[in-house]
Amino acid sequence: MILHDIESAERKSIEDQQLHDLQKTIERVYERVPFYRNKLQESNVNPDSIQTLDDIKKLPFTTKRDLRDHYPFGLFASEQKDLVRLHASSGTSGKPTVVGYTKKDIKDWAIIVARAISIVGGGPEDILQNAYGYGLFTGGLGLHFGGEELGVTVIPISGGNTERQISILEDFKPTILCSTPSYALNIGEKMLEMGKDPRSTTLKYGIFGAEPWSEEMRKKLEELFDIKACDIYGLSEVVGPGVAMECSVGQDGLHIAEDHFLVEVIDPITLEPVQEGTIGELVFTSLKKEALPIIRYRTGDIASITKAKCICGRTTTRMSRVKGRIDDMIIVRGVNVFPSEIEHHLIQMKELAPHYQLHLHRTSSLDEVELHVEITGELYQKTSQNLKHPILQALKAEIQEKMKTYCYVTMNVVLLPPKCIARSEGKAVRIIDHRKEIVKK
């Protein structure tokens, strides 16, 4: 595993470099982006106000809303002639957020992702099956350019067409699979269904991310494919995949590419910084980007950070697994719960397939959660395909009890026969919100 200079540097030298690049970034946006200039002036700050890293607190936050309000290119700091690529995040409502890259941005991002792949253990001798979607989503091209930068042999298969994924897995003999964790699970299940053994492939590593997943899901995928599964994090507004990457040695938090991104964790209500080790909302500031520098971007992602040295030898700040997005946090009668916490408990139950969905309903003024889970094919046969079977009634009560004990939420559990929940080819849909639907009488 190659350790890049920055990854094992002393904290002081990382921070000196960050301060220098932060000052340059602030100068750039102040000169080139009216939105930032106005916001900085309103906060009585200018580029000279940044004398220490702590001075970042003087700067205003940026939100997804700001990007949408300036759709499509209003926050860009480069002229169109200097842009070589655009990406966009799909977004569940309204306009997407559009992000742009100069030639240098693309090169820097490729190096960031190359480092991410090498953090896992990848190198030129590896073949990487890239099942992240190609297109406006940053996953496909992000991993593609990073793989090529590292000298890995990239198979640009993109997401979907699961049977084809399986024949490529068998014929091209890749050693690394890149996809969302839910799609990796989908591929593995399909192999079993076809009578093939997912453990018999040449795969060594999985680079899984783009959606929240749990430690239990990691175990499941590692066992299913006999691989090391590592978490990759990123978001298009900040660059795309590679903002942080988990190492295969420690598998204990994701190493942030701190020479490119400055991380903060804030309380999403008070907007004040939280203590190291406490969970809060991740906030990132880009340090080297040209086309779309981003200042104190509120990601909506909930995690914590630690500056403790990792057993792999890296000194860069690590972030915990993302528990979920603030928007995906379910608040039922005052209790907050993330789907990933529910997943953690469900996957441990042998009677269930690792697929679930949360349906939110509103009856009168109360919110109700319906948890849809699939039973295994084996159990379905054993209970004579009768969902009212006493064994299944008892299982339902057990899940309900578990959810109440560990997640503090009373849920109505709906057991489903195998294969009833839609399988993902990209980001899994875990929450279906029916609360705004008009109930027709």
Instruction: Kindly list the residues in this chain that would bind ligand DLL in the complex (CB under 6 A).
Output: 89, 132, 137-139, 142, 209-212, 231-236, 240-241, 299, 301, 322, 325
Greatest alpha-carbon span in the chain = 73
CB of 135 to ligand DLL, least distance (A): 11
Pairing of strands 318-319, 324-325: unpaired
Q: Which amino acid is at 422?
A: A
Minimum distance from residue 401 beta carbon to ligand DLL (Å): 28
What is the smallest separation between the CB atom of 59 and ligand DLL, expressed in angstroms? 20
Q: Which residue has the tokens 């106005």?
A: 38
- Token pair of 405, please? 């004990």
Question: What is the 8-class DSSP label of residue 136?
Answer: S
Rounded Cα distance, 386 and 388, in Å? 5
Q: What is the 3-state secondary structure (H, E, C) of 190-218?
A: HHHHCCCCHHHCCCCEEEEECCCCCHHHH
> How many Å apart are CA 131 and CA 34, to the nearest integer?
39
* Measured distance CA(177)–CA(232) in Å, rounded: 12
For 197-212, b/e burial (b = at least 16 CB within 10 A) is ebeebebbbbbbbbbb
| Residue 359 bridge partners (DSSP) | 370, 432
Question: Parallel, antiparallel, or unpaired: how do β-strands 83-89 and 352-363 relate?
Answer: unpaired
Closest CB 68 distance from ligand DLL, rounded Å:
13
Q: 429: closest CA among 212, 230, 217, 234?
A: 212
Q: Which is nearer to ligand DLL, 188 or 339 (CB)?
A: 339
User: To the nearest whole angstrom, how small is the minimum distance from the Cβ of residue 289 to ligand DLL?
Assistant: 15
Is the CB of 198 or the CB of 240 nearer to ligand DLL? 240
In this complex, which beta carbon is closest to ligand DLL, that of residue 120 or of residue 210? 210
Handedness of CA 224, 225, 227, 230 (dihedral sign): negative
State the Cα–Cα distance between residues 205 and 227, nearest whole angstrom: 5
Residue 233 Cβ, how far from ligand DLL at the closest point, in Å?
Answer: 4
**Which is nearer to ligand DLL, 40 or 305 (by Cβ)?**
305
Smaller CB distance to ligand DLL: residue 9 or 244? 244
Closest approach, Cβ 232 to ligand DLL, in A, equals 5
Nearest-5° Cα angle at 292, 290 to 296: 110
Nearest approach, Cβ of 403 to ligand DLL (angstroms)? 21
Q: In the complex, what is the shortest distance from the CB of residue 213 to ligand DLL, in angstroms, rounded to a whole number?
A: 6
Other beta carbons within 10 angstroms of residue 291's beta carbon come to 24
